[in-house]
């Protein structure tokens, strides 16, 4: 069972922004919940910024195998103390899936150690090319995906060197972008995926939904650690061998 927590700043939704509610009537977190609940073997909960502890108490983090993150305008409202806890959970093996404008979220910046700056403009036509078709995250999706209209993100994208680059976006503004990137930090895996501006309907595109589902499955690490730090070696290998004889 993969325990997934979906975090959303839920800011536009709480403020009744019609253009966002038109695409995500129950909030982006519930659109994402619907996508992930289509998978077998998952247990999904949502958490939002307006809840106590931003919805991410120690208990919730402890019970999360994969944390999906969507934020845009409220990155700074996430307390540094929580960012540090998220970072530690990733190092211990929790998967992390920052989506779209979450390229700027504090936990990703902390994990990568870069500004995560990029160039952008409003609605452009996007085509997504898979550059690593054999990767588990790319299974069951075409090599070229017609995303349609989404916010344009462009290189240069100031991220740490990727472990794997899986998707590259082309926009009809002439820009290109590394849209699907992975990293490992400690025992944890990270997958950043670009589509999903709040007023565009990319999360209703079957190929985008499949990539998010594949991402959640790939991010799951069954061998999570319970603590950080190196254990003290009580018995040397030599002594252990003697005992076994
Ligand atoms: Zn956006």
The CATH number of residue 24's host domain is 3.40.50.880
State in Å: Cα 212 to ligand 1 middle. 17
Give the end-to-end CA distance of the chain in Å, rounded to a whole number. 39
Strands 42-48 and 2-8: parallel
Ligand 1 mean position to 241 CA, how many Å?
58
- Are 227 and 51 in contact, with CB atoms under 8 Å apart? no
- 206 CA from centroid of ligand 1 (Å): 20
Q: 223 or 109: which carries more pLDDT confidence?
A: 109
Which pLDDT band holds residue 175 (cuts at 50, 70, 90)? Answer: very high
The predicted model scores a pTM of: 0.94
193 part of a folded domain: yes
Query: Would you place residue 229 in the very low, low, confident or very high pLDDT band (cuts 50, 70, 90)?
Result: confident
How many domains does one find in the chain? 1
* Domain that includes residue 204, residue range: 2-116+176-244
Tell me whether residue 168 is in a domain.
no
120-172 tens-digit pLDDT: 999 999 999 999 999 999 999 999 999 999 999 999 999 999 999 999 999 99
Of the candidates 35, 34, 45, the residue with the CA atom closest to the CA atom of residue 1: 45
In a domain, 58, yes or no: yes
Comparing 84-88, 106-110, 153-157, 237-241, the range with the smallest average pLDDT is 237-241
Q: Are 177 and 124 in contact (CB under 8 A)?
A: no
- Ligand 1 centroid, distance to 197 Cα (angstroms): 4
């Amino acid at each position: 069972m993969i325990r997934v927590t979906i975090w959303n700043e839920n800011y536009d939704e709480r403020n009744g922004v019609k253009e966002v509610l038109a695409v995500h009537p129950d909030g982006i977190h519930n659109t994402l919940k619907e996508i992930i609940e289509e998978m077998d073997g998952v247990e999904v909960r949502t958490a939002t910024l307006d809840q106590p502890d931003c919805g991410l108490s120690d208990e919730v983090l402890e019970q999360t195998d994969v944390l999906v993150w969507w934020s845009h305008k409220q990155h700074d409202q996430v307390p540094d103390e929580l960012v540090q806890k998220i970072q530690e959970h990733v190092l211990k093996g929790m998967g992390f899936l920052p989506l779209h404008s979450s390229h700027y979220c504090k936990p990703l910046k902390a994990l990568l150690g870069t500004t995560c700056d990029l160039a952008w403009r409003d609605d452009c036509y996007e085509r997504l090319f898979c550059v690593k078709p054999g990767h588990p995250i790319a299974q069951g999706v075409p090599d070229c995906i017609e995303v349609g209209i989404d916010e344009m993100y462009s290189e240069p994208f100031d991220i740490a060197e990727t472990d794997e680059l899986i998707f590259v976006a082309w926009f009809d503004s002439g820009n290109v972008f590394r849209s699907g990137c992975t990293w490992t930090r400690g025992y944890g895996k990270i997958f950043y995926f670009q589509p999903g501006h709040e007023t565009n309907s990319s999360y209703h595109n079957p190929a985008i939904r499949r990539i998010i589902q594949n991402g959640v499955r790939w991010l799951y690490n069954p061998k999570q650690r319970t603590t950080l730090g190196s254990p003290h070696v009580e018995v040397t290998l030599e002594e252990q061998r003697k005992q076994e004889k």
